[in-house]
């Protein structure tokens, strides 16, 4: 079974600084997708960024980018120029290419210091 | 475009009572999911629908949980009777088709507290 591991329960960053959130996963498949979701206190999961495993190029969405290391099964999220509104829980998630079942990590709580 | 709508947002019930949650997915999305999120954890899939058919309900505790998706649009998740351990946030989500990698959109969740 696929597993997603987020080993850091909490992180803090100064406003305008850069922070990296770590995620590792375990799978025997070669076709899959990886996601980072943001969950503010309202609890609505908001998609931040997605990465197709077959693409070597790291995905980028404005201030958010990933470092996808397929061989190491690592998928970290970098947030540049951190803003107060970035404070939330962030979940790493995996989807197999064989089905659409989304498997989440335990999440990490990010706080942003003004 | 309206997002995934869930109700109620908050529910407090006594143990052994029934409770039901309703979900309206994004228009045109034929795949619907129910997830449960315990405090401090990531969401876990309870059931996935393709139109009216439940194609993955392996994680649904069928002794007390039931779900339906009549006409392939709205869905209802029911718990009867509720137990203290059912306190969680129940998230509904939808996607356009079940193609792996399609973006899954979530509602704001229904917070359940069982006392």
Per DSSP, what are the bridge partners of residue B83?
A: none
Per DSSP, what are the bridge partners of residue B31?
A: B50, B95
- Gap from A74 CA to chain B (nearest CA, Å): 18
In chain B, which residues have their Cβ closer than 8 Å to the Cβ of A47? 103-105
Confidence of residue B64 (pLDDT cuts 50, 70, 90): very high
Do A106 and B41 lie within an 8 Å CB cutoff?
yes
Per DSSP, what are the bridge partners of residue A65?
A: A60, A78
- Gap from A2 CA to chain B (nearest CA, Å): 13
Q: Which of B85, B83, B86, B92 is nearest to B110 (CA)?
A: B92
- Rounded-to-integer distance, Cα B111 and Cα B11, Å: 6
| Residue A108: predicted pLDDT | 96
Average pLDDT, integer, range B69-93: 95
pLDDT at B97 over 80: no
Q: Which residue of A42, A102, A105 is in closest CB contact with B108?
A: A42
| Residue A46: predicted pLDDT | 93
| Residue A88: predicted pLDDT | 96
A64-93 residues touching B, CB cutoff 8 A = 91, 93
Confidence of residue B100 (pLDDT cuts 50, 70, 90): confident
**Interface membership of A33 toward B (CB under 8 Å):** yes
| Residue A43: predicted pLDDT | 83
- Gap from B76 CA to chain A (nearest CA, Å): 19
Q: Which residue of A44, A52, A97 is in closest CB contact with B106?
A: A44
Average pLDDT, integer, range B35-45: 93
| Residue B1: predicted pLDDT | 65
State how far the alpha carbon of B52 is from the alpha carbons of A84, B29, B62, in Å.
Answer: 42, 12, 18
What angle (nearest 5°) sits at the alpha carbon of residue A91, between those of residues B56 and B54? 10
Nearest-by-CA chain A residue for B46? A101
pLDDT at B99 over 80: no
Whether the bond into A113 is cis, omega within 30 of 0? no
Q: Which residue of A44, A95, A104 is in closest CB contact with B107?
A: A44
For an interface test with B, which of A23, A96, A100, A107 has the most B Cβ atoms less than 10 Å from its Cβ? A100
| Residue A97: predicted pLDDT | 78
Helix-strand-coil split of chain B, %, nearest 5: 5, 50, 45
Per DSSP, what are the bridge partners of residue B32?
A: B49, B94
pLDDT at B102 over 90: no
| Residue A57: predicted pLDDT | 87
Q: What is the pLDDT along chain A (114 residues), one digit of tens a residue?
A: 689 999 999 999 999 999 999 999 999 888 899 999 999 988 889 999 999 998 888 998 899 999 999 999 999 999 999 999 999 999 999 998 777 778 999 999 999 999
């Amino acid at each position: 079974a696929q597993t997603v591991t987020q080993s850091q329960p909490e992180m803090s960053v100064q406003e305008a600084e850069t922070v990296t959130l770590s995620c590792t996963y375990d799978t025997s498949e070669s076709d899959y997708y990886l996601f980072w979701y943001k969950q503010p206190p309202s609890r609505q999961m908001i998609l931040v960024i997605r990465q197709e495993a077959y693409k070597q190029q790291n995905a980028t969405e404005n201030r958010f980018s990933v470092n996808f290391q397929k061989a190491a099964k690592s998928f970290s999220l970098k947030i540049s120029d951190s803003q107060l509104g970035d404070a939330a829980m962030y979940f790493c998630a995996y989807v197999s290419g064989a089905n659409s079942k989304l498997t989440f990590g335990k999440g990490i709580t990010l706080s942003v210091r003004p | 475009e309206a997002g995934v709508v869930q109700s109620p947002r908050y529910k407090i019930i006594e143990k052994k009572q029934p409770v039901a949650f309703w979900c309206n997915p994004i228009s045109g999305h034929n795949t619907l999911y129910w997830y449960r999120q315990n405090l401090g954890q990531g969401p876990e899939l309870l059931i996935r629908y393709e139109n009216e058919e439940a194609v993955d309900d392996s994680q649904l505790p069928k002794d007390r949980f039931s779900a339906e998706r009549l006409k392939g649009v709205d869905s209802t998740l029911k718990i009867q009777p509720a137990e203290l351990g059912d306190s969680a946030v129940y998230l509904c989500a939808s996607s356009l088709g079940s193609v792996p990698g399609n973006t899954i959109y979530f509602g704001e969740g229904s917070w359940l507290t069982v006392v």
